[in-house]
Amino acid sequence: GENVEQHPSTLSVQEGDSAVIKCTYSDSASNYFPWYKQELGKRPQLIIDIRSNVGEKKDQRIAVTLNKTAKHFSLHITETQPEDSAVYFCAASPGGYSTLTFGKGTMLLVSP
């Protein structure tokens, strides 16, 4: 089955800095890669996703890059703000109503 590794497990940055979270996956059949943000005790919220026919996708301060050859994808957050503090999960799926396999999460702390 799919195995998703996520690094780092914790990331502390100063407000305004950039943050990068990296994930690798094992199943070459995976073609859908979402990123979720989860605040304590709340639901995971989809913040951005990318499909294998695209190498990069950007939405304001958030971007995701995908390297299918190397089987890794990354989340980039620029101009971080304290409200970006949360746990971020990457995931991978073959798509088509298939299950998501999640990474272990990264706790991002943005200090004012």
Q: How far is the CB of 79 from another protein (least distance, A)?
A: 26
Q: How far is the CB of 13 from another protein (least distance, A)?
A: 20
Q: Binding residues for another protein, per CB under 8 A?
A: 32, 34, 36, 41-46, 49, 89, 93, 95-105
- 41 vs 112, beta carbon nearer another protein: 41
- 78 vs 109, beta carbon nearer another protein: 109
DSSP letters of the chain? ---EEEE-SEEEEETT--EEEEEEE--TT--EEEEEEE-TTS--EEEEEEETT-SEEEETTEEEEEETTTTEEEEEE-S--GGG-EEEEEEEB-SSSPPPEE---EEEEEE-
Q: How far is the CB of 12 from another protein (least distance, A)?
A: 16
- 17 vs 46, beta carbon nearer another protein: 46
